Amino acid sequence: MRCIYCLEDKSQGYFSGREHVLPQSFGKFKGQNLTLRGKVCDECNSFFANNLDNFLARDTYEGFLRFSHGVQDPKDYKHMGKRASLTASPLEGPFKNARGYFEYDETVRGMRSVLLEQIGFKLRNGDEYDFFLVKDFPKAEDFDYSKYDLTNERSFLTIEVAEETASRLLGSLNLVFRPKESVRQHSEGKEKLEVTIESVLTEPVCRCLSKIAFNYLANLNSTEIMLSNCFNEIRAYIRYGKGTREIFLLPREEAILGGEPTEGWRVLGHIVTVLGVPQKGFVIGLGACRTELAAEAPTEGPRRGILRPIGLVARQDVAGLPRRRLD
């Protein structure tokens, strides 16, 4: 048996598990849950769970929505730590625009935001600060001194940064660290603040989205078809990170379905379309992204079933599907 991702030939004992087309952390399909059996080896299955699926589940806005929609219990939420790109920033107060993350708070039995280690520089116009995470602190040659008011006791604002670290980082910008005059430490507060949530399409997330698209196609076609050489580039990107997301993944802003609104209420759920383009291969639309799985159609093996679509939904009537406000 050969794995459709690593292409290694292994005995049946190395295919004991099952690969979920969509990570199970996002819920199950009613009726028949979509899984791949005998197509993905246990080693690849384990790699995906620990290195790709967890980023999609814990480091994306869509993953965070699982807790507000009741798919997951908030107490099970886990943050990706220093590897995280999902941030929560206060919309008001002295820490406006500072970057933080969410964690479960047993005292309120819900989520709360916690600010990360960072240093803010007071902008010349107004009282707001521009914050830089300690792990992403700029070098002197990249720092725009003209944007900031660096002359008074409120020039800097540190959040959860040790004095030694603050002194070293500010010193790298040729700025003097005066903790009693220029630095105010963040203190935990019980007040509620509105926050804005930002998520970035990181490489692990893009590889996971590409994997889901490839899994959907594999669910509808034979292993022999999925082992075609035309899929070698996309499988190498998914499994080994070879190549870049710009080659395979294309974010899109237009509506996914023909009748889907772009304002007001938007359709909920996983919207998947598969397109087999003559002489151009396959393009899969998953949520707000398109994934190019192959530049040309397979030439090896049987062709039967190769253009089986997951669903002709481009003109589907979506009036009866659940929706949520876009704003």
Between CA 130 and CA 141 the distance in angstroms is 17
Are residues 282 and 307 located together in one domain of the fold?
yes
Quick check: 305 and 290 in contact, CB under 8 A?
Answer: no
Quick check: 268 and 321 in contact, CB under 8 A?
Answer: yes
Q: Would residue 194 count as lying in a domain?
A: yes
Region 206-212: mean pLDDT is 90
Which domain does 245 fall in, by range?
Answer: 12-64+200-325
Are residues 204 and 187 located together in one domain of the fold?
no
pLDDT for 324 equals: 45
Percent of the chain topping pLDDT 70: 70
Q: Is the pTM of this model over 0.75?
A: no
Largest distance between two CA atoms of the chain = 75
Bridge partners (DSSP) of residue 148 are 123
Question: Which tokens belong to 63?
Answer: 């993953």
Number of domains, the chain: 2
Q: Is 123 exposed, middle or buried (0-12, 13-18, 19+ CB in 10 A)?
A: middle
Q: Are strands 100-105 and 110-115 parallel, antiparallel or unpaired?
A: antiparallel
Decide which of 162, 181, 198 is a domain's last residue: 198
Decide which of 150, 181, 198 is a domain's last residue: 198
Are residues 291 and 147 located together in one domain of the fold?
no
DSSP percent split of the chain into helix, strand, coil, nearest 5: 30, 20, 50
Residue with tokens 């996002």: 26
Most confident of 57-71, 123-137, 257-271: 123-137
Are residues 210 and 189 located together in one domain of the fold?
no
Are residues 21 and 112 located together in one domain of the fold?
no
Between CA 300 and CA 124 the distance in angstroms is 64
Between CA 201 and CA 216 the distance in angstroms is 21
Of 192 and 222, the one with more pLDDT: 222
- Geometric angle at alpha carbon 171, from 170 and 176, rounded to 5°: 80
Quick check: 257 and 267 in contact, CB under 8 A?
Answer: yes
Quick check: 157 and 170 in contact, CB under 8 A?
Answer: no
Region 252-267: mean pLDDT is 59
Between CA 139 and CA 9 the distance in angstroms is 49
How would residue 140 be classed by pLDDT, with cut points 50, 70 and 90? very high
Q: Report which residue type is found at 309.
A: P
